[in-house]
Amino acid sequence: MKAPKTSDELAALVRTELAQHHDLPPSFKLRVIRDGDSWRVHADPDPGVPELGVLIAHAVEIGDVLARQYDLAQ
């Protein structure tokens, strides 16, 4: 059984891991949303964020790994 985490907790885990590899601007916002029986990372499209596509792609990869370890709490 996977450990449950709130969407805020999961988003913070993704952001922490992402910050180890990228310089995250304060305007880069991401959130975790339910996707069927699981969850996924969603980043707000902000054209002012440098390398937005790279950040989003890496955040999604991190979310995929974390989704194997954690469930989104009800």
Report how far residue 10's alpha carbon sits from residue 7's, in angstroms, rounded to the nearest whole number: 5
Rounded to a whole number, what is the distance in angstroms from the first to the last CA of the chain? Answer: 15
* pLDDT score for 46: 87
Report how far residue 44's alpha carbon sits from residue 72's, in angstroms, rounded to the nearest whole number: 20
Residues of the chain predicted below pLDDT 70: none
Going by their DSSP bridges, the two strands 3-5 and 38-43 should be labelled as unpaired
Count the domains in the chain.
1
Give residue 7's domain range. Answer: 3-72
* pLDDT score for 20: 97
DSSP 37: T
